[in-house]
Structure 1
């Protein structure tokens, strides 16, 4: 009877991380046929498939495979800790960065570039998610660091503020409010609004209006930032977003303008967060420091925060 070894667990985790046998084999320095044979033996021993195999698509974990890979990663970390002198922390082999979906187009590429340069021996992967999924991933240890807005996080999370953003109103150029250099929530409360359908995002926006004694009128809840921008550019309402890009057209070619909302209560911190405080001089601590420097925007008018005149 075959008993699984730590090497078998390592094989499973590598395939789960890379999504392909060829990439995992290269990372493990084994041949692809040997890895494929070992994976088949692991699944045969367990009596269940760990991966879904479809021609032309990356390998993906089955629900059982997801649970097994998560437990296997913990086992590998425990083994590494046992072998380390004085019970030192295990060597981190992969780093998972989460990012709120609306922020990802602005921050994900530079974050990956800097982290891969700083940690060439690590596998750096990313997850682009909504607020609730990011928090769940951090709590369950599936995400190491996340770039997001400071919504829905309790005192158990470490925060590093990298920006404070004002929301933008998205309008057609011929809208009567488009002539203003800034707008207030009171002015926008009289207009039909296009908001994100993301749970915490829309709750946050509605709470801002409520704090000022205002009752907004929502015409649409958009499934994505580009849908929101398109609806606003086609006159379906005034869009509100913290992450609107500094471009003057929507995907369908319609002209659109971005005007900052000036209410101080609407400023929202952009943060890098982890669940718990990373140990000093650890990979996570160094990664957090690198990201805070890389993603901190330049002076107003450039960088992460779009210019209202663009």
Structure 2
């Protein structure tokens, strides 16, 4: 369900003020397709149209739209005064960075640090979440940038590859696979597995097995990376994960071994995603370039090494 935010109110007021999607999109520093999609979702949420869309004619407000825009502008002004009674930050730019939850412990803090050092005038906020809310936030124009795996995003988004990660099988030290330097999907298919509960993650992993004509045995679907690691460490099945935290212990103190899956095509890129056609003067465009440079250069921080327990 969509919940209206101050950012959504800014979109409505920008369109009411500028009278066109292109000018409004430039004013609020998002792409025109992102703004158009967000407006449609807002109207769907409200249950009535705010704008009249006629082929060949300028965008016009409905009576309900004009009233809504007036109230939205008053709300934005009140919010600006609440944040800064002197009105010093009323024109401050805002930027929302979303990050896939499994990647957030590795990349979110460095990303925020880089942005706040380079863009002190921009209010940076963040959110760690699963694939579906991440894609929704990006598609609706609520989020400006996303750090995620390249799953579920259509061609309307720009992508900068930050790193390529291989999946690893996670097993306890007494597991027959623990001493291996690498393992194939065909070999893994013969063992009970622990996979992520994330829908796109499961689809991706099952798709890898399917391309090799394999049907894996799924023992558990875990709703967090650490639960997956704990189940694997306690012998509930071989866990499969792209994210590989440093160290060789689960949260409950059990030792774990990580064995790299060696099949060609199993690697998955970690990407920085944003709306295509971002205005070059926008904060989002500047942030995209900063993170592409800083996180790409820090690729070694994401590099995976196999963890074995002696």
Q: Same fold (TM over 0.5)?
A: yes
Asked if residue 73 in structure 1 is aligned to residue 71 in structure 2, the reply is no
Shifted more, 66-75 versus 160-169: the winner is 66-75
Q: Equivalent residue for 2:306? A: 308
Select the residue among 89, 110, 114 that pairs with 2:26: 89
SS at match of 1:174: coil
**CA shift digits 1:47-76 (9 cap, x unpaired):** xxxxxxxxxxxxxxxx99x43635422145
TM-score (norm 2): 0.73
**CA shift digits 1:239-289 (9 cap, x unpaired):** 000112121100000000111111121111111111223223432222111
Shifted more, 170-179 versus 90-99: the winner is 90-99
Checking the alignment, whether the CA contact within 8 Å between 1:225 and 1:244 is kept in structure 2 is no
Asked if residue 171 in structure 1 is aligned to residue 171 in structure 2, the reply is yes
Q: Equivalent residue for 1:162? A: 162
State the alpha-carbon separation in 2 of the partners of residues 244 and 296 from structure 1.
18
- Structure 2: unaligned runs, 5 residues or longer: 30-92
State the alpha-carbon separation in 1 of the partners of residues 164 and 219 from structure 2.
27
SS at match of 2:206: helix
Q: 1:298 to 1:121 in 2, by over 3 A?
A: closer
Q: Equivalent residue for 2:63? A: none
Checking the alignment, whether the CA contact within 8 Å between 2:165 and 2:304 is kept in structure 1 is no
State the alpha-carbon separation in 2 of the partners of residues 239 and 249 from structure 1.
14
State the alpha-carbon separation in 1 of the partners of residues 298 and 177 from structure 2.
29
State the alpha-carbon separation in 2 of the partners of residues 176 and 87 from structure 1.
60
SS at match of 1:266: coil
State the alpha-carbon separation in 2 of the partners of residues 81 and 125 from structure 1.
26
Q: Equivalent residue for 2:130? A: 130
Aligned length: 242
Structure 1 segments of 4 or more deviating over 4 A?
Answer: 78-82
State the alpha-carbon separation in 2 of the partners of residues 116 and 178 from structure 1.
42
